[in-house]
Amino acid sequence: MVTEIKEMAFDLETPGLDPKAGKPVSMQWEYKGERPQYSEDLSGKVIDDLRNPNVKVVMQNAAFECEWIYYHYGFMITNIEDTMLLAFVMDMGAPFPYTGISRVDNYAKLSSVGLKTMAAHHLGADVWEDELIESLGTKKKSKGITRLVRCIFLEPDVTLKEIFSGKSKVLMENGFTDDDEGRAKLYRLFQSYAIKDPHLTMGMWEKLKPWAHTPAYRNLLRGIPHMIKMKYRGIRADRQGIEKIAAECLAAEENAKKEIYRLVGKEFDIGSNKELPAILKEKGIVLPLTAKENPSTNKNVLKSLDTPLLNNVISYREAAKMRVTYVEGLLLEMDDQDTIHPKYNVCGTVHGRYSSKGEI
């Protein structure tokens, strides 16, 4: 007997980007063939279906939604699909001019797989976010949503003038007065915005799912629950060992710096791209010019000239970079249990590798 798999598009509205900011303020979902629904309480049938392996939960940026559910409700959504990740892997995002970005890099590629731009390109959907931006007088959707969440859920007693600052005049002109009626109108605007996300996500899923069997997509998708658990479990680090390396790097810097000053005969800012070429010129070392007609001080150029002075400059730079960027960076990221909690990015690179950023 074949078990029927139901499909459900799911979305959260949150008080920020970090789950520590507080619980999600609303949940929106749509079962295939049904109307989208809205709630401010994750319970009952919805929570059962998020846990049900026979319900395929489709999200736009599953890593984000799954992390919030895991952090606040203590479980991982079982059967997930991700329209953003699938479009990213298959290079099926919205092209310029939908994104407003013509260059080719990871930022442009991520912009091309946003729900707004994909829905406009693939589904011919109206740019529904423009209405929200115009109504609130904000230049960006994210600022508008943040302020709506503040005035409706987080700071209902704070005046709209304080929350929307210089945009409060636009609010009044659009009928969003600072009274019960005006607040209710803002609430309806928020709901109408939020409930469109699962509907469009389901539409994008119908468009993209013929490619959902692609191995690259499936492999990245499988990693999402593990990456979230790894972030909160963390990576134990050897604080004493890292502090020892930091001290060794600092000693190497100081030794190289003393030798450079001895060879030059005076102190100067070794890290300055203006002072270093001037000092080298005094010593008869002429650096090749860059395309912008500036003396080149990159590592390969300095290595090719192979002088005791430049070799010490290279040693100084390498020790300083190791200490500041890597070693001390690790120490700053450790919690009181000597554990690092990096955030893993599924769409972190153009070519589909995971990337990470130390934070929590």
Q: What is the dihedral of CA 211, 216, 222, 227, to 10 degrees?
A: -130
Question: Cis bond leading into 97, ω under 30°?
Answer: yes
Cα separation, 183 vs 35, in Å, equals 26
Same domain, 292 and 352: no
**Same domain membership, residue 284 and residue 202:** no
Residue 288 and residue 213 in one domain: no
Q: Which amino acid is at 345?
A: N
Q: Are 144 and 133 in contact (CB under 8 A)?
A: yes
- Give me the residue label for tokens 């959907």: 125
Residues 145 and 253 in one domain: no
Within the chain, strands assigned E span 6-13, 26-31, 37-39, 55-59, 80-82, 235-236, 339-340, 342-345, 355-358
10 and 63 housed in the same domain? yes
> Number of folded domains in the chain?
2
Structural domain containing residue 275: 239-340
Q: Which tokens sit at 307?
A: 């002088």
pLDDT one digit per residue (tens) for the chain, 360 residues: 456 779 999 999 999 888 988 899 999 999 998 999 999 887 778 888 999 999 999 999 999 999 999 999 999 998 999 999 998 888 877 776 666 666 666 656 667 888 888 888 888 876 666 677 777 776 676 677 788 888 888 888 888 888 887 666 777 777 788 888 888 888 888 888 899 999 999 999 999 999 999 998 998 899 899 989 988 888 888 999 999 999 999 999 999 999 999 999 999 999 888 899 999 999 999 889 888 888 898 889 889 988 999 999 999 999 999 999 889 988 988 888 898 887 777 766 655 566 777 654
- Give the pLDDT confidence score for residue 360 in this predicted structure: 44
Task: Please give the pLDDT value at position 348.
Answer: 61
Asked whether residue 311 falls in the same domain as residue 287, the answer is: yes
pLDDT for the residue 307: 92
